[in-house]
Structure formats: structure tokens, C-alpha cells
Structure 1
Amino acid sequence: MEIMTGRFPIEDVTPSVSCGRYPSKAVVGELVPISAVSYREGHNALGVNVVWRGPHGESEPFTRLEPGEPGLDQWHAVIKPDRVGRWTFTIEAFDDPYQTWRNAVTKKIGAGQGLEDLANDLAEGAGLLDLAAKIVPNADEERVREAAAALRDDERSLFNRVALALDLEELLWHNPVRQLVTTTRSYVIWVDRQRALYSSWYEFFPRSEGAEVGPDATPVKHGTFATAAGRIPAVAAMGFDVLYLPPIHPIGRINRKGRNNTLVPRPEDVGSPWAIGAEEGGHDAIHPELGTPEDFRAFIKTAADNGLEIAMDLALQAAPDHPWVKSHPEWFTTRADGTIAYAENPPKKYQDIYPLNWDNDPKGLREEVLRVVLHWVGEGVKIFRVDNPHTKALSFWQWCIAKVKAVEPDVLFLAEAFTRPAMMNGLGKVGFTQSYTYFTWRTTAGEMREYMTQLKASIDWMRPNFWPNTPDILHETLQHGGPPMFKIRTVLASMLSPSWGMYAGLELFEHVARPGSEELIDNEKYELKPRDWAAAEKAGRSLAPYITRLNEIRRENPALHWLRNIEFHDIDNNELLCWSKRDAETGNTVLVICSFDSQDVQWGNTTINMPALGMDWHERFDVVDQITGASYEWGQHNAVRIDPFVEPAHVFVVRPRR
């Protein structure tokens, strides 16, 4: 049995990840809720406060926790970290003699007791205020001393003696006399820059931008960083702030895959960028057909000039002709016949990739990976999308991410891990900034509401990033749902999650899968795929204007920058999902109703949780659709009609009528 330490119990402190084993997560400017359960014996007043310190141990302003629902002994406060780094906090519970004194005096006077009955109370109160005068800000010291003097003034009436002291409640709530202070252990919050929580990602293959192909996608001209830079302004114009590149390293020639993942490539086939490494170099090298290191730096600069940050793929695996295979064969697994094992996920085989063995030489391998990551950090890359992190030890990631952040705290890591929930949560706990999710496979309103509730509860350690599509994933809803479904999935991704992303081709409604697969046919992972963006937009066959508007709505409405604030509202149609987000500081409120049906008109009746919008149950308000411009007067109960072939969602900004 664990023995309580300190005078007062303090329990159920949050945020606390795995009982404080791992840091919780926040970003600069985020309102971080702090809570605890604390109580005491008897009837004397208890106070609770949080002591929070910045990345260099500097003390932040005194923050007192407010009591929650009566009888539950829960205490709540909000802190707002303003710098990147490792923050800490402790909870303190204390005896609050002023509150005890004030409660007693108020009750005694209310019961009709007079000066003679309260003689001791007045004297004790005066002594208490003498202590308080040494604690309050200098500007308030005289006020407290006057109240103490009034308590001692025998010439005054009872009311005049106590009035000044009773009026100090607000001042001494925030500047209390604290006795019998009990302190918890220290808890850690790692605070990232805001992009760790709020971001819009766009993925394209640089080798396809500016490329030319002949019949059967035969490569004629390979795209370069210079030609790919020409696509950057259009990506920025759609409102994205992160441009994610698949691996840019030399591609192996041994067992290279051909078009559509065939094992029999043509000599001119370009191979998969995830088969990393050849005679030209490995993870710290650039594919020579993309350009030089100088060309890559120019590409990064062009992106930055357009408001975009580059995210690099970190895929810890090797092609059979990677330099590591010769220099460090111990970093791989040797099979019974003496060959090196290639990657398998039975029945799938990846003959062009050797997975790393993290047990033969863990120190040497992890030091090499750290060197590679810091190399690219030195080149100006501050975001890494990590391929299959769940196939590497969590202890490695905890070590590696901590080492990188010790050098550059602004570096962010996105986990590409579609795997078991415990592993996905574990990756977040050990340091991954964001994570891919099961968003793609949540295809009903009920499933999505339940999943979002889970993600909201996990925000202290796992931040989601929603993607309607990736080079690996073309869900059947997009294969068969038509353009309205592309809109639906884009609305859901961009409005539910503070971070979302898309792979190039979504705006062109690319929807044909390779037979028997959840991947696109003629997959860009294995071939050059130039697209005529301008022709599609000119012909009205592009989702780009719609995507642009959704990203504009995100930027214009701070409510959409957070996840803790999501609230769901009831609607009597299982094909519709209704939710809101409200920014506590600005009052900005967004209310969304989205259909999951891309084929039929759907009607629904909402029951809005009015306090979640910052209003009383009886109030009326205006909603303005940010996509169509239409406005309506609403209240708690409203009828909604959604035609997916007109607009499959309402994205409303709420305007209170006051």
C-alpha cells in the first residue's frame, strides 16, 4: 500500500501520461487544462494551485485552481505556455486561513452574532491580514493594512470593522496566505511550436513535376528540384504550409520494382524511392537526377519564400545495393542460406528493400541514424515524416527524438504507423509529434464521432493528422463515391483535425485502383507521373478551388486550430455528423454538418448543445456558411437538408445575436 506524503491528499493530476512516465504534449499558445482531486478533513478551507516553470526553470505567474462541480473535490485551471521546450508543473494544496476566516465570520454575522461574540475572530483576522500584507503586490499592501486596522478599531461598528476585510476575497484568492503546503511530484509538458498541432500538408513526388513520359509511362525526362519548384506556388496558393517529399535519395538497382509493383522492371524504370541507396550513396545523399545539394537548398528556399516548410521522409531501410550493406552487414538479418533477408509482410514481399536489424549493433546503428537526421536538420529540414516507425523499437525513438530536440527543439516527427492502437499511442508517448490515424477507415458518422472522442481524450500524447489519400491508400469510398465523396472526405479531414494532409492527385479525383488493391493503378511510387494541373482546372475538373477555400476557412477561424475544443451535437440522421469548435480566447465558433452519403439528399434535425457555443439554451444565433455564403437564423433545434451534388457539408461560422 502506497503511503500518502504531505498534509493533504492530491490525486488524479492531469495532464499526466502513463502516471507521469512520459511528457504530455502542448504547443505554444495552447490553453492547457490542469486538474487534480484534492480534499481535506474537517471544514477549514483548502486551496490548490499549480506551480509551472518554463524551459529554463523560470517561474511563471501564480495560478490558482478553481473548484469544479460541488462535492467532487475536483480543481481546475488553465495555463498557456509561450515558449518551445520542456516545461514542468507541480500541484500544491494548502490550508487557506483567510477563506476559512471569511466563511466563519460571514456565517456568524448571518446568524445574528455581535461584536462580543466575534471578538476573537476580529483579532485573529487582523493578525492574518498582517501576514497577507507581506504577500500581496506592493500596490495593494496599504489596502490590506487598512483592513487589518479596521478590524482592530473598537470605535467602529461590527459592519464597518469587517467590511474592508471581507472585500479582500478576490485579492487574497490570487495572493493567498498559504499554510501546511503539500506538493506533488513534478510533471513534464513538452511544448512544441504551433505547427506541431495545426498544419496543412501536401505531398508530391519531385521527380514527377516537370517530367515527361512516353507510351506505357516510359520515362523520357526526369523531374528535378528545379522543375518541381515550379509547382510550389500553386501548392502555396491552395493554402498548404507543409510540403512533404517522399525519399529523395539514390534508388537501388538490385531487385528494382517496375510499373505497378512488378518484379520484372524495364531498364528505364525509375524504381521506388523507398528502396533507398545505391552506388551514389545512401540516406545522406540526393538522387543525382533530382539535382545537387545546392539545388535542394534552393528548393527549400523557394518553398520558404512561398510560406511552405519542407517535410522529408525518413525511411529506415535499405536497398540491396545501399552502402550500408557492404560497410555494415551486421545491421541486417542473415538467413539460414547466408542471404540477407528482404522485407516481408506475408503474403506481401518487398524484394527491393532490406529491413534493418536493431539488435546486432544497436549503438552503432542508432548513432548512424542520428547522424543522418542531424545532417538534414543542418540542411534546413525541421519536419520528418517517418516511414513505418512501429517496426523499430520504441526505446530507439525515445532516444533519437530526444537527442534531435536537444540540438534543435523545433524539429517535428510525423509517425506513419497504421497499426495497433497501443503501438500508435506508444509512439506518441515516446516523442512523435503527430501521427497518421484510422481516419481513412472511419466511414460512417457514428464511427467518426466515436473515433474523434477517443482522439480528443488522447491529445496529451497523440496528435492526429488526417489524410483522405496517400500513395499507398485509395479507400473504396473514393474509388466509388464520385466527386461528392472527395469533397466529403476533404471536409472531414480539414475540419475535424487541426492537422490534415493530402497526396497530389486528390484534386484531380484520381480514383482508379489497381485490381485487388487499395492503391492507385499506375502508382507513382513506381513511375513518373506528370499531371496537367492547369488543363484540369481550366476544364473545371479540379478540386483545387474547394481545397483552397477549406484551407482559407481554417486560417480565418482560430477555433479550427485546436482539438481539445471539439464538441459533437445530436442529429437524428445517421448519415450526418454535426460538430463545433469554439476558441475560448476569441469566442470564434465554427459549426459543421457533413453528410457521409455521396449519392442521396439527406435531411436531419439538430439538437445543439448551446453552452458549447457559449450561449444559453434559449438563445438564437446566426450561422454563415463559409462555402456558399448563405446565412440562417438558428437555435437549439434546426432542420438541415444536404444535397451532396450541390454541397455535401455546411461549414458555418456562428454569430451570436446580442
Structure 2
Amino acid sequence: MASRRPGHPSVPPVPQHERHASAADVLTRHALDSVDRMTGRADLRLGITDVAPVVSCGAFSARAVVGEHLPITATVFREGHDAVAANVVWTPPTEAGGGPTRTPPGGDGAAQPFHRMERFGDQPDRWLTTVVPDREGRWTYRVEAWSDPLATWHHAVEVKMAAGQGPEELANDLEEGARLLDRVAAEADGDWKERVTDAAAALRDTSRELPARVAPALAEALQHHLHDHPVRELVTPGPEYEVWVDRPRALFGSWYEFFPRSTGPVVDGQATHGTFATSAERLPAVADMGFDVVYLPPIHPIGAVNRKGPNSAQYPGGNPHEIGPDDPGSPWAIGSAEGGHDAVHPQLGTMDDFRAFVARTRELGMEVALDFALQAAPDHPWVEAHPEWFTTKPDGTIAYAENPPKKYQDIYPINFDNDPEGIYAECLRVIRVWIDAGVRIFRVDNPHTKPLNFWHWLIWTVKETDPDVLFLAEAFTRPAMMHQLARIGYTQSYTYFTWRTARGELEDYGSELAANCHYMRPNFFVNTPDILHASLQLGGPPMFKIRAVLAAMMSPTWGVYSGFELFEHVAVRPGSEEYLDSEKYQLRPRDWAAAESSGRSLVPYLRRLNEIRRAHPALQQLRTLRFHSVDNPNLICFSKTDPGSQDAVLVVVALDSHNTQIGTTSLNLPALGLDWYERFTVTDELTGNSWDWGQFNYVELDPYREPAHVFSLTHHRQVQVPPPVA
């Protein structure tokens, strides 16, 4: 589909007639054959290396979203001193409606979308151009290197004239220039055809003085035209690479997670099971906070066998709580006699009720993300119909899930090595059930415990018919697995953000994610039903603000789990990251109105952060994230810019939630589109206060008043799109 399996040419056997040739001759010939197989040509004329963005040497697609400014870079070089240039051929998913095309003179004769590259950075051979995809799907690009005779001629004439050479010594140069302009004129039309023809005629006009002969050809306006309509010689095409372009929600969005079953009313002091109808009553408040995505844990029937109760208690086993008839169990223990992954929990409602919930979410400008957890409760219909889909122990029992010391007796993992054809088909059928119900985003539970080739197949099979469907990988696992899940097709990834609290950790991790944003898009959740970090347990209300600002401003996509806005912070036991009275195992209704009326609510702050994110395009991307120096390790400073709107945002956050922090910034002003000496105005989007700033600035943050500055900048110059970080 949108990615190719990696392949490497193997060394062929040595033919009989070559067995007496020298080893060097044979190896050289086979090396050239290998180059020819990899590139389609063995006579590479000009040099093209280090092309980006490229994922796994082109085995998988790079990623972008509609409207994103995507930098494409390469190292391009040649022998000798003649000028070399480069362009990108950027091709849309379909031939029709692909935008303006043209054939530069001296090109290969095929009209292609042509984006000329320019040198950038400190390395003379690095080249850059920026493309902006305007539709979803699989785009392709290739870098072309070429000899630039117009630039070579221009430089030679200027140097020779500066050295005092006259028209007689420059006769050949002037005629060469005229002939090059003739080639441009042959492809030009309208006024430009006449202007180029006149410049060629001036070069040949021996009645003029030398400066007058050369001036029309070197005029600024004509040079701009020649830059966009070059003469290309020795055109050397590089390999073709793919970029899969998603809808903008793949990159930017604010997520809110809640359990529909906890939205029921409290009757006589007892929580009652919520429904999709009661959940819909919560949606206006979520929309008012500025969230874009409503993420629901599994909504399927829950197994009765080995069901767990409050605080993960299980009966029997000597736990402090025995399971009662009203304990709802864990939503991730999917399946019972009432149905499996394609069914709705009867206490929540019907499939029609769910469709109505999805429709209401859309009416409020949001969309639903649904948990996709490929595992089964012991009484799931799959267990009886397909026992071969699970792992059987020597004693004949089916293996349940374990993550020592945790045991999940209520969950059976699926064994994808048993009947993969049947499992694959059923998983695809299930996910299409929910696509038909209106779900376009899936948060996938523990994808790192399933085969990579399964996910590669499933994701791209879905995208063949539904390219707008997005997949979030909930994989808190080893970096290699997290990155590979992103490479093979996952749209977004959970990250280590929850555990990154010190400045150095945040800077290193943020820089790493920005460097890999061409295939791995982060989703910074500040908390989850499984993760209540110690910083939130011990940091007090200011730490909730600090973590929200860091997540919302650093990552284009971020999320909160319900209860964060109420400062819920009590763990089940010291040293644990699990919540006391975890909502995973019991109903947990919340009195939102009482919290807001008492002022014990973070709702206004979350609303303001999401307002700022929507107002600033700079915050809706990751690749421009840059960290700035500040002389206090308990302060962190970073910025983001947007090359399309010239928007820039500068953020300073105190990482200590208990003490006032003072420091001095040392800003990298060129990263903000400014010269080192310039002054500019910063306006705090959280408080409305403004200051006059420069490179060095005093900062004082009291976490109990406001632990962060989120500055918008004015009076800054044009921001250039930065290249990918190597």
C-alpha cells in the first residue's frame, strides 16, 4: 500500500566464464550491477545523497498532513567548478488536479510539479525546498540534480569583467550566454519571450559598450525569471520516495478521555451505570474546554469470569474486597455471553444509541476516538468458537495476561501465530463495524504485544478504503518498538512525556521527537487511567498547571484523562502510579458543578490553553520546536514558529511547583526570525501582560500565582522554515 517492504540486492553467483578473472574485476563488475539495480542507472552523473524526509531508506512512507509546510532537503554536488542546482519533483496522489506543472528547458520532456531547491545552512552542498500538500493520500517526490549553465555563465562573466577583460576576450562568453537565452526564449511566452529574446540580442550587439551588452541579461527581474525557468543539463534523478499525507487531525488536536459508564446519576448515595445518553450530556462541557477528540475506553460487553473489582481486587484470593454482583469489571476484559468486539455493552445502550452519541459529538465540533483492544475475556465468544486463537498451557488451561507483578486473570491475549488468516480477517471485520458507526480514530491498546506485520497489513488495508482513519499507538515500551510502530503506519504515538520531568529530560526528548516528526507524531497525555505520576501526586495544583502547559505547548497533540481538571492525585499505595479507587474497575461519578463553583477546578485553565493552541498555528506543529538557554535548571524555555503564517510563540515554564523561580533567558533570536540585536514585544497569552524583550531577559515565576509564560511575539521578521534536525 503506502509503504514498500525493505529489500536489498544480493550478490549474484559468479558465472562460469568469470571464474578465472581477478577477484577485483569480478567485485567491481558486480558492484556496478548492484548500483544499477538500486538506482536504475549505473552512470550517476551528479551527486545526490542524504535526502530527507526518508524513513528506513525508503522502505516506509514519510508523513505529513494537508497544509503542512514540509521541508525536503538533500546534499547535491558535482565535480569541478561549474554550477550545480537541484529541484524536487513533487507528485500528488492522482494525476488529475495535481497543480501547475512545467517543463524546464533542458529537462527530460515530462511535465512535472517543479520545486526548485536553494542552498541553506552552513554546509555549501545542502539544499532545501518546501512543499505543501493540499490533499490526503500517497504523494511521491524525488530530488533531481543538474548542471546549471546559466549560473556558471553568470559567475564567469562577472568575474572576468571585474578582472578587466574586454569584449574581445569575452566574445565566446557573450555568445554562449546568448545561446542559453535562446533556449529559454524557445520555452517562454508572452512578454517574457520578448524580454529574453531582447537580452540575447543585446549580448550579440557589438555596437554597444560591454556593460550595456551584459546589463539586460543580468537585470534583477530577468534573473528571477531565469531562476524559475532554468536551463537544466546533465539532469540526474534521484530515487523516488513516498510521503503519506493525512488530514490535519493526525498532527494537531486536543484529546479528552472519559468513561461513559461513570456518567450516570448518583441515587441515594450510590453511583448508577451511565449510558450513551448520559454521556452525551457531558459533551458540551468537553467542547467548551476546547477539546477536539473525545476518547472512549472499550464500550463492549465485559466478561463475568474472573471479573475484577475495586482497586483491582479479585475473588477469591484474600483481597480486601470481594466481587459483588454490581461491580462493573474492567472495560478491557472484553466479551461475554452478551457479545464481543463488535457489540455494545447493554447497560450503555444500543448501536443506534452509540451512533447518536457520535453524531452529537460532531455537532459540537469534535469527533470520537474508540479504544481498539485485541484481547478477550474468558467468556468472550471467540474463546468458545476459536480456542486456537489463544495460547494453551501444558495443563490445558488458556494463558491469561501477565505483566509481573500484575496478573490479569480476566484477560486472554490473542496468539497471532495460530490461524493468522482467520484472526486478521476478524480484526479487519471488527474495525470496519466501528468505521461504519462513524468512528474515524482508534486508540490501539498495547500494540507492541502484537506482531508488527499484522499492524502494517491492517492499517494500510483500512487506509485503502478509508484514508482519513487515524491510529494512535498506546505503546509504553522500548524505544525501538515505539519507533517501528510509527514507521509501519501508526498515525500517532503515546510517549514517555509522562515520566519526563527535569529540564534536561524534557529538552532531550522534545528534540528527539522533533527530529523524527517526519514519521512519529507524539500525543502528550498528562495522565491516563493507568498513570498517575509522582509529580502529580506530590506537586499540588501548580504541578497540574505545569504539566498541562508543557504538554499543550510542546506537542501539537495532547490529552487529559477525566479527573485531571479536579486535581485527582491520590495513589492506591505509596510508590504506585495507579489511582486509588481506579475508574478502570468501578464507577466514578464526579460533581463537576460543585468543583467549579468552589474554585477547585482547572477547567478555565484548560480552556485557555486550548484557545491559545487554536489561535496560534505555531503550536499546531512539532518540527519547529526549539529550546533556548536559561540559567536556572528549574526553568525551561522553548519556542515554536509557523512558516506559513509567520506566527511565533515563546514559552517559559517553572518546573518546581513549590518555590518561586528566577532566571535569565538567552534566546536564539534567529530561530524566532530575528537578528541578535533586535528588540520585540512579548505578550503573555495567559495574563495579558506585555514586555519589551531582547536576547537576554529576566524571568520570575511564582507557581502559586502563574507557573508559566506563554508569549506571542510581535515586530518579528519573516520566519524561515527550518530543515529537519539531522
TM-score category of the 2 structures, normalised to the smaller one: over 0.9
* 2:672–2:716 Cα contact (<8 Å) kept: no
Match for residue 171 of structure 1?
225
Match for residue 129 of structure 1?
181
SS of the residue 1:552 aligns to: helix
In the TM superposition, what are the counterparts of 1:467-616 in structure 2 within 5 Å?
A: 467-516=525-574, 517-616=576-675
* 1:62–1:174 Cα contact (<8 Å) kept: no
Which of 602, 624, 637 matches 2:683? 624
CA spacing shift, 1:485–1:448, aligned 2, 3 Å:
same
d(CA) in 2 for partners of 1:214, 1:463: 46
d(CA) in 2 for partners of 1:181, 1:592: 46
Match for residue 95 of structure 1?
147
Determine if the alignment matches structure 1 residue 454 to structure 2 residue 512.
yes
Which of 95, 115, 118 matches 2:170? 118
Match for residue 15 of structure 1?
53
What do the CA deviations read for 1:2-61 (whole angstroms, capped 9, x no partner)? 646421110000001111111111111111111111111111111100001011146554
Match for residue 383 of structure 2?
325
d(CA) in 2 for partners of 1:225, 1:249: 12
2:646 corresponds to which letter in structure 1?
Answer: G
1:108 corresponds to which letter in structure 2?
Answer: K
Q: What is the Cα deviation at residue 69 of structure 1?
A: 3.9
- Range 148-157 or range 628-637, more displaced: 148-157
Q: What is the Cα deviation at residue 547 of structure 1?
A: 0.5
Q: What is the Cα deviation at residue 169 of structure 1?
A: 2.1
Q: What is the Cα deviation at residue 293 of structure 1?
A: 1.0
Match for residue 235 of structure 1?
286
2:391 corresponds to which letter in structure 1?
Answer: T
Which of 50, 62, 82 matches 2:88? 50
- Range 107-116 or range 51-60, more displaced: 51-60
Q: CA RMSD in A?
A: 1.4
d(CA) in 1 for partners of 2:652, 2:123: 37
Match for residue 197 of structure 2?
145
d(CA) in 2 for partners of 1:127, 1:653: 52
1:464 corresponds to which letter in structure 2?
Answer: P
d(CA) in 1 for partners of 2:559, 2:503: 21
Q: What is the Cα deviation at residue 159 of structure 1?
A: 1.8
Which of 182, 187, 197 matches 2:251? 197
SS of the residue 1:201 aligns to: strand
Which of 342, 345, 349 matches 1:291? 349
1:410 corresponds to which letter in structure 2?
Answer: D
Determine if the alignment matches structure 1 residue 106 to structure 2 residue 158.
yes
d(CA) in 2 for partners of 1:105, 1:237: 65
Q: What is the Cα deviation at residue 153 of structure 1?
A: 2.1
- Range 482-491 or range 149-158, more displaced: 149-158
2:51 corresponds to which letter in structure 1?
Answer: V
2:258 corresponds to which letter in structure 1?
Answer: F
* 2:673–2:716 Cα contact (<8 Å) kept: no
Determine if the alignment matches structure 1 residue 81 to structure 2 residue 81.
no
CA spacing shift, 1:385–1:657, aligned 2, 3 Å:
closer
In the TM superposition, what are the counterparts of 1:346-385 in structure 2 within 5 Å?
A: 346-385=404-443
Match for residue 71 of structure 2?
33
Determine if the alignment matches structure 1 residue 316 to structure 2 residue 354.
no
Determine if the alignment matches structure 1 residue 160 to structure 2 residue 217.
no
d(CA) in 2 for partners of 1:69, 1:335: 60
d(CA) in 2 for partners of 1:573, 1:163: 57
Match for residue 300 of structure 1?
358
d(CA) in 2 for partners of 1:527, 1:136: 73
* 1:213–1:528 Cα contact (<8 Å) kept: no
Q: TM-score, normalised by structure 2?
A: 0.89
What do the CA deviations read for 1:618-653 (whole angstroms, capped 9, x no partner)? 111111111111111111111111100000111111
d(CA) in 1 for partners of 2:191, 2:443: 52
Match for residue 270 of structure 1?
328
Q: What is the Cα deviation at residue 142 of structure 1?
A: 1.7
- Range 341-350 or range 422-431, more displaced: 341-350
d(CA) in 2 for partners of 1:185, 1:148: 36
Q: TM-score, normalised by structure 1?
A: 0.98
* 1:12–1:36 Cα contact (<8 Å) kept: yes
CA spacing shift, 1:267–1:642, aligned 2, 3 Å:
same
CA spacing shift, 1:542–1:594, aligned 2, 3 Å:
same
Which of 311, 324, 332 matches 1:260? 311
Match for residue 28 of structure 2?
none
d(CA) in 1 for partners of 2:188, 2:289: 53
CA spacing shift, 1:459–1:412, aligned 2, 3 Å:
same
1:610 corresponds to which letter in structure 2?
Answer: L
Unaligned runs of 5+ in 1: none
- Range 284-293 or range 63-72, more displaced: 63-72
2:621 corresponds to which letter in structure 1?
Answer: W
SS of the residue 1:611 aligns to: helix
SS of the residue 1:466 aligns to: strand
d(CA) in 1 for partners of 2:529, 2:265: 18
CA spacing shift, 1:173–1:568, aligned 2, 3 Å:
same
Match for residue 184 of structure 1?
238
Identity of aligned residues (%): 60
d(CA) in 2 for partners of 1:364, 1:67: 53
d(CA) in 2 for partners of 1:68, 1:572: 31
What do the CA deviations read for 1:365-395 (whole angstroms, capped 9, x no partner)? 1111111111111111000000000001111
* 1:493–1:500 Cα contact (<8 Å) kept: yes
1:223 corresponds to which letter in structure 2?
Answer: G
Q: What is the Cα deviation at residue 96 of structure 1?
A: 1.1
Q: What is the Cα deviation at residue 570 of structure 1?
A: 0.4
* 2:674–2:716 Cα contact (<8 Å) kept: no
d(CA) in 1 for partners of 2:396, 2:379: 16
SS of the residue 1:534 aligns to: helix
d(CA) in 1 for partners of 2:123, 2:716: 35
Q: What is the Cα deviation at residue 507 of structure 1?
A: 0.5
What do the CA deviations read for 1:485-506 (whole angstroms, capped 9, x no partner)? 1111111110110000000000
What do the CA deviations read for 1:189-234 (whole angstroms, capped 9, x no partner)? 111111101000000001111243666xx65x21000011000000
SS of the residue 1:550 aligns to: helix
CA spacing shift, 1:560–1:69, aligned 2, 3 Å:
closer
SS of the residue 1:134 aligns to: helix
Which of 697, 700, 723 matches 1:638? 697
SS of the residue 1:195 aligns to: helix
Q: What is the Cα deviation at residue 157 of structure 1?
A: 2.0
In the TM superposition, what are the counterparts of 1:361-440 in structure 2 within 5 Å?
A: 361-440=419-498
